[in-house]
Chain A
């Protein structure tokens, strides 16, 4: 079974790059590319998703620096919605950013939903790490 992936990133070029990377292996199925945290919340938490989610845990690659809700604000909102019983049952979020600031890494660790930190641009090694983290959790 392929790993279902959603990419949330405001930069079109970065979405293109991860799409290309993921496509090099057969392990992933890119479900959605969303340009903002707001759109992600709308699509996966607000809309009626009955019957649309598969049995597999959803992998979300979340950029930090976006206009509107940034990555952290989006994750924070998602966690709240999940604890209120809304949203997908199984979700793994990986921070997906070009920043390697310690501040961001520390902040990422504060969210139970966040299971890893992936630096852009993602190379083949990065893809292996994404797969490893996903498999170790789901």
Chain B
């Protein structure tokens, strides 16, 4: 190659650079700027040819000056056509000190017998601005979004996604998206990913399956994922929009539970309205009937009958008032505050027994088999209501055909629970009626009171998070077993 040819070569490059539609420069192996075109001068804010002979580092932000010569040397050891920076953000600096994002293409050429680098510098300010805007928009989105490149590496993750998966941005960028995929399908995920890349239609992921994503702490998040291919200047990316279903599923569960509860309440209310129409109205119509009869008897001068019937009216009225009070007591149960007292059970039971039996006019014996740890912390009034109902039922349903009528109270305390079982050897409850004994207004036979006692007992026990169970054999006897959680005695 002659010197003239070499000169011409440089001229040729000058011409080529001049007509290039993009900013270009030619840099020597030693880092000296040999040629620039006007577009490049303009991009960096220099006068035409002002850069010739300057060190190329003049175009590079100062923070990068230190490393650049080494990288430049490395390039010249193995010169090739490639992009500079490997996906990192590259910046240039203008004469006035403005930093501008660039995309740089490198090629090696021989000029004057020396290997030089031909550099194409693309101003990507607008692209960056656009990207930033997109990222801001995606960050503002409530749904988690992740952009993945063709290799399955995460190139963007928005704030919602970081929050959802529990990672820092730096942990996820450039790492395989499979990191967020549950272990059991992690090995097949790249296959799915590649097939999506080749088909590339926006679609929901695995629509018919229950999808899960993996949180950093290892817990699985139920999700719904929409996939959208996004064309970028260099490749097709995939944006995944990930919707966290945890709350929705939880809400669905709660709504389902709530509607079951409401259906139950509604059912109870219907039952209550029906029972009320019988049980609360019946005494009133009896009174109306009695008063009408009284009227007639007054006209007929039958005063003795009037007196008797008015007495009946009084009795029925009083019973009705008690019954209404009983219904209200049941209705109020849920609103009662918890008031625990620490007490010894035996004296309470004995006192209650005396109140119930009076000077022992019934031939009923009470046997105690107490095996609980005194003192216990119970809601004393509630406990009394419960036990009183169970005992008075046991007395009322005693079997007159048996020689001894015995009622046994057994207690035990275990696992933070107090268990009290009341067993009688009374007439028992027919199997067909056992399910109904706790229902409001349910009277099993003529001996039944107003049908409210066990309904109240059950409601109180449920309020205290306890349980009540019934075992009964007709002709043999009945056992009611209640279990109540014990408290620390400080009341809450």
Contact = CB atoms under 8 A, between A and B. Distances in A.
A binds B: yes
Interface of A: 10-11, 13-14, 17, 20, 35-36, 64-65, 67-68, 97-101, 103, 119-123
B331 interface: no
Interface in B283-321: 284-286, 288-290, 292-293, 312, 316
Contact of B284 (A68, A98, A101): A98
B445 interface: yes
B384 to A, nearest CB: 27
Given A35-B446, A65-B282, A67-B444, A13 B290 contact: yes
Given A13-B316, A35-B446, A67-B443, A101 B274 contact: yes
Interface of A is mostly: loop
29 contacts: A10-B446, A11-B286, A13-B286, A13-B316, A14-B289, A17-B286, A17-B289, A17-B290, A35-B446, A65-B279, A65-B282, A67-B443, A67-B445, A68-B445, A68-B446, A98-B278, A98-B281, A98-B282, A98-B285, A99-B278, A100-B277, A101-B277, A119-B285, A120-B282, A120-B285, A120-B286, A121-B285, A121-B286, A123-B292
Contacts of A13: 286, 289-290, 312, 316
B476 interface: no
Interface of B: 274, 277-279, 281-282, 284-286, 288-290, 292-293, 312, 316, 443-448
A115 B448 CA distance: 30
Interface centre among B289, B444, B446 (most CB of A within 10 A): B289
Contacts of A65: 278-279, 282
B444 A120 contact: no
Interface of B is mostly: helix
Contacts of A123: 292
B221 to A, nearest CB: 49
A-B pairs with lowest CB-CB distance, top 10: A121-B289, A98-B285, A67-B443, A17-B289, A65-B278, A67-B445, A98-B282, A120-B285, A101-B277, A13-B286
Nearest to B278: A65
Given A13-B316, A98-B281, A67 B448 contact: yes
Contacts of A99: 277-278, 281-282
A39 to B, nearest CB: 10
Given A17-B286, A67-B448, 7 more contacts: A98-B282, A98-B284, A98-B285, A101-B274, A120-B282, A121-B289, A121-B292
B289 A120 contact: yes
A101 B292 CA distance: 23
A100 B277 CA distance: 8
